[in-house]
Structure 1
């Protein structure tokens, strides 16, 4: 089975599992067509000469199965690096901060020194753009780490976007699914 067929099959099974869990645990009904189709997102390319880092999290009420992920893309949308990992965190803001820190660590490690870092968490982006003092005691060290990592690069632009849809999974998970390609280093 080729990689794209296998990836589609895995995504389809995962979507069915998510819909089943929503029905069983949350008593929510999910339209089968929506559960099995990718999230529609409007991806904006970075400025010329920049790469784009999108990060996101998934947070379960039981705190079991939380995870973070990020994907780097060239201006043409081609993914360069995609990573996801299970990780414990207690709030969406903390998870978003951890995901962005993980992504910026990769920025530094892979020398992607001109990057746009995009998150759907407006509060986090505002902390990074304006003032870290409004961050609570649990988030402030992560925000400081993110800023320290960004300082190691020539240019990092922090930007916020909003999700178009929440069904079927997280933004980055969907983005990784939509363009499954072998990873390469620059």
Structure 2
């Protein structure tokens, strides 16, 4: 904080009428890096009670486990260490936080470290004379291929897709290995991407697609919004650049809030709010209090929805939300908020046409 600051409360830094930061006051009273951080914090539009949150848990609710981890990280941070942090730290954190038995975590950790007693490792340490499979004694061990096929079976079962029986995994893995050796330039598996598909809302409804895009090199984020009717016709579209908030989920939440504000400004009353953030969609459909760092923004969205006659939310894949995403990306080239009534920017007409094509 700069010397001579006369501000005593956070509320003094907020323009209470417009529910925005008083940027002139912040710039006068704080150093540039402090002012930039403060102005990037999103403010709520509606009146809400102050609450205490714990930012070291995804749901922002304190637990003994998260408190212990916080203290451990704090102790490690105070100890002398290399100037280059471990780039795999996040991977190990995710691995050890998996909701599986400890022996499974230990197996995964050893696999990542390539320290499992595979035939290849045992041969490298001169414990066994060769790396041939114990079953056929003809080919190198198939451990990694078998693990991949087991993982693929699991995913297919979860998604309701056809898969090979478990008792055929070894045989299938052996065939894959032989095929890869006979034609190393051909992939043994082929993935067919489902085409992008935007779906229109019911009659008399309007679908409000939104998305956010971050521009880290500019410390800003882009918001893209498009409103379409049941025939797929564009009612309006918007692209806007705003300060970069602290997290990606806040980018999506700010885009969703701006989308509802935009719809209300245009007078639409039957709205389907559609985005590609699973976390935000879950938060909007959860009835209990939201204690996350973006919970106040979620409450704003729910408050705005009460001004509509009917309101629903919808979750789609990123490729099904391509027009809103393209608008968000376009905002990095705009110096101010831009709105196109009953149209989209000329350079995005091909994206709109692709959505139309998917309807037929």
TM-score by length of 2: 0.35
Residue 319 of structure 2 corresponds to: 164
Selected match of 1:104 from 233, 255, 260: 260
How far does residue 82 in structure 1 lie from its aligned partner after superposition? Answer: 0.5
Distance 1:62 1:90, change over 3 A: farther
Residue 74 of structure 1 corresponds to: 229
How far does residue 62 in structure 1 lie from its aligned partner after superposition? Answer: 4.0
Distance 1:53 1:64, change over 3 A: same
How far does residue 131 in structure 1 lie from its aligned partner after superposition? Answer: 3.4
Q: Does 1:43 align with 2:198?
A: yes
Residue 93 of structure 1 corresponds to: 249
Deviates more, 1:85-94 or 1:115-124: 85-94
How far does residue 74 in structure 1 lie from its aligned partner after superposition? Answer: 0.9
Within 1, Cα distance between the matches of 2:321 and 2:237?
Answer: 20
Name the one with the larger strand percent. 1
How far does residue 173 in structure 1 lie from its aligned partner after superposition? Answer: 5.0
Within 1, Cα distance between the matches of 2:303 and 2:252?
Answer: 17
Which one has a bigger Cα radius of gyration?
2
Gaps of 5+ in 2: 1-194, 330-342, 354-360
Q: Does 1:59 align with 2:214?
A: yes
What is the total number of aligned residue pairs between the two structures?
Answer: 139
1:91-143 deviations in whole A, cap 9, x for unaligned? Answer: 2210111111111012222221001100100110111111363451x311111
Within 1, Cα distance between the matches of 2:284 and 2:247?
Answer: 18
Gaps of 5+ in 1: 1-39, 181-186
After the TM superposition, which parts of structure 1 deviate over 4 Å for at least 4 consecutive aligned residues?
171-176
* Secondary structure of the corresponding residue to residue 66 of structure 1: strand
How far does residue 65 in structure 1 lie from its aligned partner after superposition? Answer: 4.0
Residue 152 of structure 1 corresponds to: 307
Residue 26 of structure 1 corresponds to: none
Check conservation: 1:57, 1:95, Cα contact below 8 A: yes
TM-score by length of 1: 0.66
Within 2, Cα distance between the matches of 1:132 and 1:71?
Answer: 30
Within 1, Cα distance between the matches of 2:311 and 2:302?
Answer: 9
* Secondary structure of the corresponding residue to residue 106 of structure 1: helix
Q: Does 1:139 align with 2:264?
A: no
Selected match of 1:84 from 227, 233, 239: 239
Distance 1:171 1:132, change over 3 A: farther
Check conservation: 2:215, 2:222, Cα contact below 8 A: no
| Larger RCO (CA under 8 A, 6+ residues apart) | 1
